Structure 1
C-alpha cells in the first residue's frame, strides 16, 4: 500500500484544491453552472483572448481527447499541425455556436460547450514551436504507475458541457476533424462532477469537498496566466489520472479521514477552523506541541505557504471506469509546471493520503491563447 501516491496541487488537491469559479478565470458569471437546471440558453463563446475551457464556469461533465501527429520532417509536421489546429478551431467554434451543424445537437438548445486545446512539450520541442520556456514534461515521481497509452500526447483537447450527450457528439466531431487533418487519436477519458447546490463546493469520491479556493485575479495574473508577451493569454495544464482506494479510505474512522486531509469531511472547514473558506492555519499547535493540522495532512503539505505563495487554478473531475478503477482527474492550470513538481515532491514524501492513491496517467500541455473571430488557435506557435 505504501506505493500509493498523493494527490497534488498548489492551493491543495483533494480537499483544499482550487476549484471554485471566481473572478477573471471564469469570466463575468460568478456562479458555477454545473448544478443549475436554469443555465442561460446562450452559448459559451468560443472566440476570445483566452480559451473558454479555462475561463468559463466549470460544468458537470468533461471529455479529454489526446492526439499524436505523424513523424516525418519538421517542415511537413509543422504543416500538419497547422492543419490540425485549423480543423479543431472550425469544429469547436461550430459545435459551440448557437446553431451547431450536427442534427444531434439541434433539439436541446445550445450545447453550452466550452473547450481548450493544448500542445504537448515533446511536440513543442521536436518542432521548435514558440511556447513558454518552462513547458516540459513532469519528472518521474516515486511509485507512479503511469500507463503511457492513457497519458501525454502531441495535442490535448478538453471538452466540457452540461450533459453527456453533447460531450459524446462533440468528441466525435472533434476527433473526426483532427483525424481528417492527419492526427491520430491517442487516448480519451471522461469525467464528471456531482450535483451540488449553486455556490457550494462539490465533493470527490472520498466524500471530501474538492475545490475550496481559487486565486483571485491578481494572483492568477501572477501564477496562472503567462507573462506579458506572446504567451500572456495562455497557461499550462497539468493533468493526472489518480486512482483512489475509495473503499479503503471510507473504512477509516471519520476523525482519521479528517486528519489525513487536514479538513473536516462534514463541512470542509480546515482543522482548527470554523468555515470551509477560512485559510488553513498550518502553524497552529495543540497544547502538547503537535500541529492542529497534522504534519502529514494533505492540506498542510500542499499549502502555498511552502511555495512562496504560488497558487494553481484547479478544476478537477471524478472518473468511474468500473468498480476497480475510480478516482480523480486532477486538472490544474499554472504558468510554470515546476510549481506542480515542487508540491508533488512534498506530497510524495509524506502525504497521509498516499496509501489510498496511485497516479496512473499524466500529461502536460501548453494551453494556447484563444482565437479571434477570424483567426485560428496557435497562430503564434510558428513565429
Structure 2
C-alpha cells in the first residue's frame, strides 16, 4: 500500500553546504483504496445503497460516521472494500468530488433494469470466501439502517485461474489481456491535486448469450473476438500480450484480424492510447441470466462511452451480449492508516 505522509516526514534532516542546492522534496505517493491495485481476489459482492430521506450538512455528518463504522467492520473481516459514490449524492449532500462528475448517457442497445442500476453509495467487497462476504454484507446492512437503504446486491466470482494468468469469461476466452501495466497508470488514477489516487468506476451487468456463441465454430468465435481461444494471442500473433497487427492481411487480401473483431473496436489506439483497468467477475443468476460484471476503473468515464458507442456500431460481439444494469461511481482516494473510508469526501477546501 502507498506510504503515508508521516512515513516521508520521518526522514532525518542533515545540514548541507550552502554551495550545494538541496534536491526537490520527494513527492508523497497518492493513497489508493486497497483492493484496486492488488491481486484480484476470487469472489466479489457489490452492495448498492440509496440515501432516500436526508440532505445537507447533517446528512454528510451522519454518512461520515457510518463510513467510520463500516471501516472498522471491513478491516476486521477477511475482505477488501472499495467505496464509491454516485453522481446524484453530491447534489444533495456536500461532498468533495470532481466538478464534472455526472451520469452516463443512454447508450445503444442498453436494456437496463433501474432496480439493479445506479447507487448513491456502493461498496465492492472482495475476498476468498463468499460466505464471509455475505456475512459481512449483512452486518454492513444492519449498520446502515436508518440512513442508507439497500438498493441492489450482486455477487460474482472468478473461474479457477492459474496464478499469473488472465481469467476467462463464460465464452471461454481470456478477459483482461489488454489491461494497463505500470506505464498506463495515468489512465486509471487521477493526478496530483485533491483527488490524487482516486478514480472512476463504470459498472455494467452484461448478460452473455453463451448458447448462441457456443453454436459458432471455433474459427468463427476467434474471428468475433480477434484472438485465439487457447492462449489469448491476437490472430496472427505469437503470444497473448503481443500488440495486434491490424494491418496484416492474408494472401487473398483479407484482414487477419477481421474488420468487425471485438479487439479492433475496443483497441486503445482509437482513444489516443487511453485504457481502462478492468477487474470483471462472472455472475450466474440462473441458466437464462449469466454473464460478466464489468468493473472498469478510469480517469474519465467518457472513455467508456466512446468505446461502447463504437462497439455498438462495428463489434461482431454485440449480438451475443446485452447490458442490463449500469452505474458510474467516483472512487475517492484511499485513507491514511487509522482513517475512515472516503474521508477525503468530507474534507474542506
> TM (normalized to structure 2)?
0.87
Structure possessing the higher radius of gyration over alpha carbons = 2
Shift of 1:52: 1.2
Shift of 1:342: 0.8
Stretches of structure 2 lacking an aligned partner (at least 5 in a row): 3-29
The alignment partner of 1:319 has SS state of strand
What is the rounded CA distance, in whole Å, between the counterparts of 1:357 and 1:258 in structure 2? Answer: 16
Could you say which residue in structure 2 is the equivalent of 1:287? Answer: 251
2:244 counterpart of 1:262: no
Could you say which residue in structure 2 is the equivalent of 1:81? Answer: 63
Shift of 1:128: 4.5
Q: Residue 83 of structure 2 contacts residue 342 of structure 2 at CA under 8 Å; is this kept in 1?
A: no
Pairing partner for 2:49 from 48, 51, 67: 67
Could you say which residue in structure 2 is the equivalent of 1:56? Answer: 38
The alignment partner of 1:127 has SS state of coil
- What stretches of structure 1 move > 4 A for 4+ residues in a row? none
The alignment partner of 2:169 has SS state of coil
Shift of 1:125: 3.0
The alignment partner of 1:248 has SS state of helix
Q: Residue 136 of structure 1 contacts residue 337 of structure 1 at CA under 8 Å; is this kept in 2?
A: no
- Written as runs of structure 1 = structure 2, the 5 A alignment for 1:335-350 is 335-350=299-314
2:179 counterpart of 1:197: no
Q: Residue 91 of structure 1 contacts residue 177 of structure 1 at CA under 8 Å; is this kept in 2?
A: no
Q: Give a deviation string over 1:269-295, Cα, whole Å, max 9, x none.
A: 101111111111223223344322111
Q: Give a deviation string over 1:53-95, Cα, whole Å, max 9, x none.
A: 2122101110000011123432333233223322222221222
Pairing partner for 1:206 from 168, 171, 179: 171
2:293 counterpart of 1:329: yes
Could you say which residue in structure 1 is the equivalent of 2:203? Answer: 239
2:299 counterpart of 1:317: no
2:81 counterpart of 1:115: yes
Pairing partner for 2:235 from 250, 260, 271: 271
The alignment partner of 2:92 has SS state of helix
Shift of 1:143: 2.1
Higher relative contact order (CA 8 A, sep 6+): 1
What is the rounded CA distance, in whole Å, between the counterparts of 1:92 and 1:224 in structure 2? Answer: 24
Could you say which residue in structure 1 is the equivalent of 2:10? Answer: none
What is the rounded CA distance, in whole Å, between the counterparts of 2:178 and 2:316 in structure 1? Answer: 21
Q: Give a deviation string over 1:11-44, Cα, whole Å, max 9, x none.
A: xxxxxxxxxxxx99xxxxxxxxxxxxxxxxxxxx
Q: Residue 231 of structure 1 contacts residue 369 of structure 1 at CA under 8 Å; is this kept in 2?
A: yes
How has the CA–CA distance of structure 1 residues 73 and 203 changed in structure 2, closer, same or farther, with 3 Å as cutoff? closer
What is the rounded CA distance, in whole Å, between the counterparts of 1:55 and 1:178 in structure 2? Answer: 27
Task: Out of 286-295 and 60-69, give the one that drifted further.
Answer: 286-295
> TM (normalized to structure 1)?
0.80
What is the rounded CA distance, in whole Å, between the counterparts of 1:133 and 1:271 in structure 2? Answer: 42
What is the rounded CA distance, in whole Å, between the counterparts of 1:136 and 1:290 in structure 2? Answer: 42
What is the rounded CA distance, in whole Å, between the counterparts of 2:228 and 2:91 in structure 1? Answer: 44
Pairs aligned (count):
320
Shift of 1:168: 1.3
Could you say which residue in structure 1 is the equivalent of 2:119? Answer: 153
Shift of 1:132: 2.0
